[in-house]
Amino acid sequence: MAQSNVYSLNVVGYYNVVVPATTYLLVGNQLNTTNNTLPGIIPSTVAGAQFQKFNGGYSAYTFDPDDLAWVPDATGVTLRPGEGGLFRSPSATTLTFVGEVRQGLLTNALPVGIRVLRSSIVPQQANLTALGLVPPYAEPGDQLQTLHGGFAAWTYDPDDLAWLPAPEPTINVGEAFFYRKSPSGTNPNWVRNFTVQ
Protein backbone atom coordinates (compact mmCIF):
# COMPACT_ATOMS: atom_id res chain seq x y z
CA MET A 1 0.00 0.00 0.00
CA ALA A 2 1.50 3.31 -1.07
CA GLN A 3 1.56 6.26 1.27
CA SER A 4 1.96 9.88 0.41
CA ASN A 5 2.50 12.94 2.54
CA VAL A 6 -0.41 15.34 2.79
CA TYR A 7 0.38 18.97 3.47
CA SER A 8 -1.98 21.71 4.57
CA LEU A 9 -1.42 25.38 3.84
CA ASN A 10 -3.78 26.39 6.64
CA VAL A 11 -2.19 28.38 9.45
CA VAL A 12 -4.11 28.41 12.72
CA GLY A 13 -3.17 30.59 15.65
CA TYR A 14 -4.22 33.08 18.27
CA TYR A 15 -3.41 36.53 19.56
CA ASN A 16 -4.20 38.40 22.76
CA VAL A 17 -5.41 41.96 23.21
CA VAL A 18 -4.78 43.36 26.70
CA VAL A 19 -7.61 45.64 27.80
CA PRO A 20 -6.93 47.99 30.74
CA ALA A 21 -9.80 48.68 33.12
CA THR A 22 -12.37 51.29 32.01
CA THR A 23 -10.44 52.08 28.82
CA TYR A 24 -11.98 52.14 25.35
CA LEU A 25 -10.04 50.17 22.74
CA LEU A 26 -10.65 49.69 19.02
CA VAL A 27 -10.26 45.93 18.60
CA GLY A 28 -10.23 44.02 15.34
CA ASN A 29 -10.78 40.42 14.34
CA GLN A 30 -7.89 39.17 12.19
CA LEU A 31 -8.52 35.42 12.26
CA ASN A 32 -11.17 33.43 10.39
CA THR A 33 -13.48 30.99 12.19
CA THR A 34 -16.63 29.05 11.36
CA ASN A 35 -18.61 31.67 13.32
CA ASN A 36 -17.42 35.22 12.62
CA THR A 37 -19.97 36.90 14.88
CA LEU A 38 -19.49 38.73 18.17
CA PRO A 39 -20.54 35.68 20.28
CA GLY A 40 -18.42 33.41 18.08
CA ILE A 41 -15.27 35.55 18.37
CA ILE A 42 -15.70 36.76 21.98
CA PRO A 43 -17.90 34.07 23.58
CA SER A 44 -17.10 35.08 27.16
CA THR A 45 -15.55 38.04 28.95
CA VAL A 46 -15.80 40.18 32.08
CA ALA A 47 -19.25 40.90 33.52
CA GLY A 48 -20.48 44.25 32.27
CA ALA A 49 -17.96 44.50 29.41
CA GLN A 50 -19.30 46.41 26.42
CA PHE A 51 -18.79 45.96 22.70
CA GLN A 52 -19.97 48.63 20.30
CA LYS A 53 -20.35 47.85 16.60
CA PHE A 54 -20.12 50.90 14.33
CA ASN A 55 -22.29 51.10 11.23
CA GLY A 56 -22.74 54.83 10.75
CA GLY A 57 -23.74 54.85 14.43
CA TYR A 58 -23.04 52.64 17.41
CA SER A 59 -24.98 49.53 18.45
CA ALA A 60 -24.01 48.52 22.00
CA TYR A 61 -23.89 45.05 23.56
CA THR A 62 -23.13 44.19 27.20
CA PHE A 63 -21.84 40.84 28.42
CA ASP A 64 -24.19 39.18 30.94
CA PRO A 65 -22.30 36.59 33.01
CA ASP A 66 -25.51 34.96 34.29
CA ASP A 67 -26.67 34.05 30.80
CA LEU A 68 -23.10 33.84 29.40
CA ALA A 69 -24.32 35.94 26.50
CA TRP A 70 -24.21 39.38 24.92
CA VAL A 71 -27.31 41.50 25.60
CA PRO A 72 -29.22 42.35 23.52
CA ASP A 73 -28.86 39.20 21.42
CA ALA A 74 -25.74 39.57 19.24
CA THR A 75 -25.95 36.36 17.20
CA GLY A 76 -26.34 38.39 14.00
CA VAL A 77 -23.57 40.90 14.76
CA THR A 78 -20.70 40.15 12.37
CA LEU A 79 -17.05 40.38 13.34
CA ARG A 80 -15.35 39.07 10.20
CA PRO A 81 -11.61 39.29 9.59
CA GLY A 82 -10.92 42.95 8.86
CA GLU A 83 -13.85 44.22 10.96
CA GLY A 84 -13.63 45.76 14.40
CA GLY A 85 -15.48 47.38 17.24
CA LEU A 86 -15.12 49.50 20.33
CA PHE A 87 -14.51 47.44 23.49
CA ARG A 88 -14.57 48.55 27.13
CA SER A 89 -14.30 46.46 30.29
CA PRO A 90 -14.99 47.53 33.89
CA SER A 91 -11.87 45.62 34.98
CA ALA A 92 -8.61 44.69 33.28
CA THR A 93 -8.93 41.68 31.01
CA THR A 94 -7.36 39.96 28.03
CA LEU A 95 -9.28 39.10 24.88
CA THR A 96 -8.00 36.01 23.05
CA PHE A 97 -8.78 35.68 19.34
CA VAL A 98 -8.41 32.18 17.86
CA GLY A 99 -8.72 31.06 14.24
CA GLU A 100 -7.15 30.64 10.84
CA VAL A 101 -4.88 33.21 9.19
CA ARG A 102 -6.40 34.07 5.83
CA GLN A 103 -4.04 33.91 2.87
CA GLY A 104 -4.11 34.82 -0.80
CA LEU A 105 -5.79 37.84 -2.36
CA LEU A 106 -7.69 39.53 0.48
CA THR A 107 -10.16 42.40 0.03
CA ASN A 108 -11.46 44.72 2.74
CA ALA A 109 -14.20 47.15 1.66
CA LEU A 110 -13.61 50.89 2.14
CA PRO A 111 -16.85 52.47 0.84
CA VAL A 112 -16.41 55.89 -0.78
CA GLY A 113 -17.43 58.81 1.43
CA ILE A 114 -18.39 56.64 4.41
CA ARG A 115 -16.66 56.25 7.77
CA VAL A 116 -16.07 52.59 8.65
CA LEU A 117 -14.31 50.67 11.41
CA ARG A 118 -11.68 48.32 9.97
CA SER A 119 -8.58 46.32 10.85
CA SER A 120 -5.99 44.43 8.87
CA ILE A 121 -7.47 41.13 7.69
CA VAL A 122 -4.32 39.35 8.92
CA PRO A 123 -2.61 39.56 12.34
CA GLN A 124 0.39 41.69 11.50
CA GLN A 125 1.88 44.66 13.34
CA ALA A 126 3.09 47.25 10.84
CA ASN A 127 2.74 50.82 9.66
CA LEU A 128 0.15 51.77 7.05
CA THR A 129 2.58 51.46 4.14
CA ALA A 130 3.64 47.95 5.14
CA LEU A 131 -0.04 47.00 5.56
CA GLY A 132 -0.64 48.05 1.96
CA LEU A 133 -2.67 51.21 2.62
CA VAL A 134 -0.94 52.99 -0.26
CA PRO A 135 -2.11 53.92 -3.79
CA PRO A 136 -4.26 52.79 -5.44
CA TYR A 137 -6.06 51.87 -2.18
CA ALA A 138 -5.14 55.01 -0.24
CA GLU A 139 -6.34 58.03 -2.21
CA PRO A 140 -5.98 61.81 -1.78
CA GLY A 141 -8.07 62.99 1.15
CA ASP A 142 -8.57 59.57 2.76
CA GLN A 143 -8.57 59.82 6.55
CA LEU A 144 -7.60 57.32 9.25
CA GLN A 145 -8.10 57.57 13.03
CA THR A 146 -6.59 55.48 15.81
CA LEU A 147 -7.58 55.43 19.48
CA HIS A 148 -4.83 55.29 22.12
CA GLY A 149 -6.26 57.14 25.10
CA GLY A 150 -7.56 59.72 22.62
CA PHE A 151 -8.12 59.90 18.89
CA ALA A 152 -5.26 60.72 16.52
CA ALA A 153 -5.85 61.35 12.80
CA TRP A 154 -3.89 61.06 9.55
CA THR A 155 -4.75 62.14 6.00
CA TYR A 156 -3.31 60.74 2.78
CA ASP A 157 -1.51 63.57 0.98
CA PRO A 158 -1.13 63.20 -2.81
CA ASP A 159 1.73 65.70 -3.07
CA ASP A 160 3.96 63.86 -0.59
CA LEU A 161 2.46 60.44 -1.46
CA ALA A 162 2.35 59.81 2.27
CA TRP A 163 0.15 59.72 5.35
CA LEU A 164 0.46 63.03 7.22
CA PRO A 165 1.43 64.06 9.77
CA ALA A 166 4.60 62.01 9.84
CA PRO A 167 5.36 59.51 11.10
CA GLU A 168 2.46 57.36 9.99
CA PRO A 169 1.01 55.17 12.74
CA THR A 170 1.90 51.58 13.49
CA ILE A 171 -1.20 49.39 13.79
CA ASN A 172 -0.88 46.66 16.42
CA VAL A 173 -2.07 43.08 16.08
CA GLY A 174 -5.74 43.03 17.08
CA GLU A 175 -6.15 46.80 16.65
CA ALA A 176 -8.90 48.41 14.58
CA PHE A 177 -9.13 51.96 13.26
CA PHE A 178 -11.66 54.30 11.68
CA TYR A 179 -11.25 54.87 7.95
CA ARG A 180 -13.06 57.42 5.81
CA LYS A 181 -12.59 57.12 2.08
CA SER A 182 -12.56 60.54 0.41
CA PRO A 183 -15.87 61.42 -1.32
CA SER A 184 -13.81 61.90 -4.50
CA GLY A 185 -12.24 58.46 -4.11
CA THR A 186 -12.62 55.87 -6.85
CA ASN A 187 -11.25 52.66 -5.30
CA PRO A 188 -13.61 51.25 -2.62
CA ASN A 189 -11.33 48.36 -1.65
CA TRP A 190 -8.12 47.67 0.28
CA VAL A 191 -6.51 44.62 -1.35
CA ARG A 192 -3.55 42.63 -0.07
CA ASN A 193 -1.86 39.53 -1.38
CA PHE A 194 -0.75 37.80 1.81
CA THR A 195 1.03 34.48 2.29
CA VAL A 196 2.57 33.08 5.46
CA GLN A 197 6.24 32.34 4.75
Whether the predicted pLDDT of 8 surpasses 80: no
Max CA distance (Å), the chain: 66
Amino acid 124 reads: Q
**pLDDT tens, 59-83?**
999 999 899 899 999 999 999 999 9
109 forms beta bridges with: 189
Whether the predicted pLDDT of 1 surpasses 60: no
Whether the predicted pLDDT of 7 surpasses 90: no
Give the C-alpha distances (Å, rounded to integers) separating 163 from 127, 148, 193: 10, 18, 21
Whether the predicted pLDDT of 96 surpasses 50: yes
Domain residue spans of the chain = 14-99, 101-194
**pLDDT tens, 113-150?**
999 999 999 999 999 999 999 999 999 999 999 999 99
Amino acid 155 reads: T
Q: For position 9, what pLDDT does the model report? A: 61
Task: Compute the average pLDDT of residues 146-162.
Answer: 94
* Contacts of residue 4, Cβ cutoff 8 Å, sequence gap at least 6: none
Beta sheet of 115-119, edge-to-edge order: 115-119, 176-180, 143-147, 151-157, 162-164
- Identify the H or E element spanning 87: strand 84-88
**CA 162, chain centre distance (Å):** 22
Cα(25)–Cα(41) distance, integer angstroms: 16
Burial class (CB in 10 A: 0-12, 13-18, 19+), 159: exposed
174: left (phi over 0), alpha (psi -120 to 50) or beta: left
Look at residues 119, 14, 124, 29 and name the one whose alpha carbon lies nearest to residue 78.
29
Cα(78)–Cα(88) distance, integer angstroms: 18
* Contacts of residue 69, Cβ cutoff 8 Å, sequence gap at least 6: 39, 63
Cα(126)–Cα(6) distance, integer angstroms: 33
pTM metric for this prediction: 0.92
Whether the predicted pLDDT of 48 surpasses 70: yes
Residue-level length of the chain: 197
